[in-house]
A and B are shown apart, each in its own frame.
Chain A
């Protein structure tokens, strides 16, 4: 049924993405594609991969933005994947029941065998989390790596989404955002984690941690070495060469 679960999920699994530490390396997107090309939604399209216009399904896309201007301007790398919303509009618009939100852990999934490929869910999502597979004729999306996080064949340390496992800067955190004492919930509370586009009222599970304020003293304002040193060996050389310039 594509109605949302009547009861709030006991667990709300999701990601916390730290915009302050993300270095924009795209490793999360690459590892996501690598894992999911063989996972729940396998295979993922990869048309013209080495050509002029490569095209295909990606569950995770990394934007880079400039914000502000002058000394206060920032460059922010901005990974974006499914936010596994509590009030997921992609689920309720689905006419077939293929798109659903799990009552047990809040993960939003597509059951490919029921999907008619009408694309309405991708229209309903404000965040662009769903991408149509033109080859299979069905909609695909981030599964929060359900085939990793519950996979008992993996070491426990590896039971996290592929994007989280691979991030070299630890900018991505995975956990239960429904539990106020979980590491991710504490991180959100400490750092002021926020929702993307709250005016869409989707109540996303994933949170973004803001870019920190600049540290005082850091930045491009420290002076260079003095060009006319007083005293010492360099001062003597400077004086000598200054006099010699008269020759």
Chain B
């Protein structure tokens, strides 16, 4: 599948933003954070900026961005529509959290409820993002039960690293903020490795023979293409550039996303303020690079069954 940069940015930025807001809200709700309004202002503004930038970015690849509001209407059948509705609903508890934490300096009563609703709606939104891909049967590597949970786990893990960075800047990093980040990264790593193993060993869902129904004669090979130049289908679904480098890119993902960040985060707790903050920055930069490669691979490794009509043997 062709990896549109706007979609890669959207899914990674909004995942990170929702993860950051969710982890911060849990810390606030549980009373694990010092009541520093500046900290709340930064966490919430960064989180909301990431989520909003991601949502806006997702409209950039539309043919008609001015009609994007229509995408909220079909939540009964469409995961894309559900995601839009969930994303808008998620702003409500985040606003409540911001009001209590930053303005009132006290998270109690209805504001506490907002704090606990934030991670729920954040997770629901990111789950819907994952289901947009997982619901597509025509792309067998996406139509996999782990896909939406990977989106949730990666959003949480990247957000937790971002949260650890912000609290480290305030000198408030502790075992809890580091622990959540490390646990989130390890959980995401386990899911991602399980996912790779599963798609690498899965039997093909469809073949050139079943696509054409000509398997009775034997092996099916394209003889003449329908047109002399590549068409929309080949450009959109036939992207193969990263697939040949998939092994290397997977290793780079493992190192940058799942190896460097948890080590840096864990060490940062035991370091002093400056070294700890520097380690948290390194962890965040590494996670940022890793999640972009991971998402690019997610698209590039996906084989659409329509390519069976264009020379692919199995998908």
Task: Kindly count the residue-residue contacts between A and B in the assembled complex, taking CB atoms under 8 Å apart.
Answer: 205
How far is the CB of A221 from the nearest CB of chain B, in Å?
18
- Contact B236 A119, beta carbon cutoff 8 Å: yes
Whether, in the assembled complex, A115 has its beta carbon less than 8 Å from a beta carbon of chain B, the answer is yes
Question: What is the bound-complex CA distance between A57 and B235, given in angstroms?
Answer: 13
Question: What is the bound-complex CA distance between A123 and B71, given in angstroms?
Answer: 17
The 27 sampled A-B contact pairs (Cβ below 8 Å) are A1-B76, A55-B232, A57-B232, A58-B226, A67-B214, A67-B215, A67-B217, A68-B218, A69-B218, A80-B226, A80-B309, A94-B78, A95-B72, A97-B73, A116-B62, A116-B67, A117-B62, A122-B232, A122-B233, A122-B237, A123-B138, A131-B231, A138-B63, A196-B212, A199-B210, A200-B138, A201-B137
Question: Which of A71-79, A156-164, A175-183, A237-245 lies at the interface with chain B?
Answer: A71-79
- Contact B217 A58, beta carbon cutoff 8 Å: no
Using A67-B218, A196-B211 as known contacts, say yes or no to A97 and B233 having CB atoms under 8 A apart: no
Whether, in the assembled complex, B174 has its beta carbon less than 8 Å from a beta carbon of chain A, the answer is no
- Contact B63 A61, beta carbon cutoff 8 Å: no
Q: Which of A98-135 contact B (CB under 8 A)?
A: 98, 114-120, 122-128, 131-134
- Contact B226 A61, beta carbon cutoff 8 Å: yes
Using A29-B226, A128-B233, A196-B212 as known contacts, say yes or no to A120 and B62 having CB atoms under 8 A apart: no
- Contact B218 A137, beta carbon cutoff 8 Å: no
- Contact partners of B1 in chain A: CB under 8 A: 123
- Contact A198 B71, beta carbon cutoff 8 Å: no
Closest 3 CB pairs of A and B: A117-B63, A137-B63, A68-B218
- Contact partners of B210 in chain A: CB under 8 A: 196-199
Question: How many residues on A have C-beta within 8 angstroms of the other chain's C-beta atoms?
Answer: 71
Given A61-B227, A64-B222, 13 additional A-B pairs, CB 8 A = A1-B77, A63-B226, A68-B218, A89-B136, A93-B79, A94-B77, A95-B80, A116-B63, A132-B232, A196-B213, A197-B305, A199-B210, A200-B138
Q: Which of A1-21 contact B (CB under 8 A)?
A: 1-4, 19
Question: What is the bound-complex CA distance between A126 and B305, given in angstroms?
Answer: 6
Whether, in the assembled complex, A234 has its beta carbon less than 8 Å from a beta carbon of chain B, the answer is no
How far is the CB of B141 from the nearest CB of chain A, in Å?
13
How far is the CB of A80 from the nearest CB of chain B, in Å?
7
Partner of B214, one of A91, A92, A115, A211: A211
- Contact partners of B309 in chain A: CB under 8 A: 63, 80, 127-128
Question: What is the bound-complex CA distance between A93 and B236, given in angstroms?
Answer: 17
Whether, in the assembled complex, A35 has its beta carbon less than 8 Å from a beta carbon of chain B, the answer is no
- Contact B214 A76, beta carbon cutoff 8 Å: yes
How far is the CB of B312 from the nearest CB of chain A, in Å?
12
Whether, in the assembled complex, A233 has its beta carbon less than 8 Å from a beta carbon of chain B, the answer is no
- Contact B237 A137, beta carbon cutoff 8 Å: no
Question: What is the bound-complex CA distance between A152 and B132, given in angstroms?
Answer: 42
Using A118-B71, A131-B231 as known contacts, say yes or no to A68 and B219 having CB atoms under 8 A apart: yes
* Interfacial residues, chain B to chain A (CB-CB below 8 A): 1, 61-65, 67-68, 70-74, 76-81, 84, 132, 135-139, 205-206, 210-233, 236-237, 304-306, 308-309
- Contact partners of B73 in chain A: CB under 8 A: 95-97
Question: What is the bound-complex CA distance between A119 and B205, given in angstroms?
Answer: 23
Using A116-B62, A116-B67 as known contacts, say yes or no to A132 and B212 having CB atoms under 8 A apart: no
- Contact B220 A126, beta carbon cutoff 8 Å: no
Question: What is the bound-complex CA distance between A128 and B220, given in angstroms?
Answer: 18
How far is the CB of B17 from the nearest CB of chain A, in Å?
21
- Contact partners of A203 in chain B: CB under 8 A: none
- Contact B212 A65, beta carbon cutoff 8 Å: yes
* Interfacial residues, chain A to chain B (CB-CB below 8 A): 1-4, 19, 24, 29, 52-55, 57-58, 61-69, 72-76, 78, 80, 89, 91-98, 114-120, 122-128, 131-134, 136-139, 194-201, 208, 210-211
How far is the CB of A1 from the nearest CB of chain B, in Å?
7
Partner of A123, one of B215, B226, B304: B304
Using A61-B226, A124-B138, A201-B137 as known contacts, say yes or no to A94 and B74 having CB atoms under 8 A apart: yes
- Contact A95 B78, beta carbon cutoff 8 Å: yes
Nearest CB in chain A to that of B71: its residue: A95
How far is the CB of B61 from the nearest CB of chain A, in Å?
8
- Contact partners of A118 in chain B: CB under 8 A: 61-63, 71, 80
- Contact partners of B304 in chain A: CB under 8 A: 123
- Contact B71 A208, beta carbon cutoff 8 Å: no
- Contact partners of A57 in chain B: CB under 8 A: 232
- Contact partners of A139 in chain B: CB under 8 A: 63
How far is the CB of B206 from the nearest CB of chain A, in Å?
5
How far is the CB of A178 from the nearest CB of chain B, in Å?
22
Question: What is the bound-complex CA distance between A3 and B77, given in angstroms?
Answer: 6
Question: What is the bound-complex CA distance between A39 and B309, given in angstroms?
Answer: 27
Using A128-B306, A131-B231, A132-B63 as known contacts, say yes or no to A65 and B221 having CB atoms under 8 A apart: yes
Partner of B229, one of A53, A75, A124, A194: A53
Question: What is the bound-complex CA distance between A126 and B233, given in angstroms?
Answer: 11
Partner of B74, one of A89, A97, A115: A97
Nearest CB in chain A to that of B79: its residue: A93
Partner of B77, one of A52, A92, A199, A208: A92
Question: What is the bound-complex CA distance between A53 and B70, given in angstroms?
Answer: 35
- Contact B225 A128, beta carbon cutoff 8 Å: no
